[in-house]
Structure 1
Amino acid sequence: MRPPYSKAFREKMVQRMVGPGAVTATQLAKQIGVTQPTLSKWLREAHRAAMTTKTKAPEPAASSGQPKTAEDKMRLVLAAEQLAPDERGAFLRRQGVHDSELEAWRAAMVQALGARPAQGGGPRPADQRRIRELEKELGRKDRALAETAALLVLAKKAESLWGDGEDGTDDRSEK
């Protein structure tokens, strides 16, 4: 069995997964030879420790200009959500991001995940339109099914009244 990794090593690996130029646990596992589940566990433990001690989450380094990747934007949104309102402004200044940009990124994340924003009510307009179309189609199919069932009942009644023609009782076949 391998000896446990030192706390300093684990912290360094967590920093590589959340810090500047962050890599995924899978990528890091390939680079250093520690299994991905172990790295993910260390990341979860670090997150829990940060939440329980009310310390700030590791911040991405301030970049020159806008964050370039979706991962950077997501990391910034999540880090900002964990901060108290008075700390958030300082954090955004250090990152070179405006509050309006952060809110736009947050809204895009929520929309991409398919969740409704907190202030949103019902389904989105596109979803409402699709629901109406499906309800119309269902109504048409219900009416067609009812008509077909009625025709089948009538056909059976006609057959019972006039016969099926096999016993010679069908008047129509002789004409």
Structure 2
Amino acid sequence: MGGIYVPKYSNGLKARMIQRMTGPEGISANALSRSVGISQSTLSQWVRERSLDGMRDKNSKKARSRSGAEKLRIVQEAAACSEEELGAYLRREGIHSAQLDEWTGIAEAAALAGLSPQKRSKGKPSVDADVVDELRKDLRRKEKALAEVTAILVLKKRIQEIWGDGDGDTDTRSAT
């Protein structure tokens, strides 16, 4: 059974061809194909693969988490850079300008929060606040019970005024 012959190229050859296409004076895959005898599609595929490998490497760098102190250092150093130096600095640090903008905003917000007077946290109430809430609920419950007992005593007093003491001095039946 006959198959399609696929030549194997060394990694060194691939690297040199990619360098010739992507270097400072890079030539097109078509022109390089004519001069070295490797198909244009193969050369283009090598460039795409290298590009994808580079993206994977960048993503692995991106996955690296930075501490707050490191982010603050980068924000401060970037602020000291001129416009021309900033791009090179960001590339060297492996971050995008959008990331720098985000970190700068966070740093500014944190600085402003640190300078403003402290407010009570709206998060979880403190233990003292929990105790105060519980005592207020207990007080409301007892006030309701007291109001109910007071109402019962007032009604009992009125009933006694209307019906009498109930000591048997009067005959409730009419004598006829």
What's the TM-score once normalised by structure 2's chain length? 0.32
- Report which of the two has the higher share of helix: 2
User: Normalising by the residue count of structure 1, what TM-score does the alignment of the two structures yield?
Assistant: 0.32
- Of structures 1 and 2, the one with the larger relative CO (CA 8 A, separation 6+) is 1
Higher Rg = 2
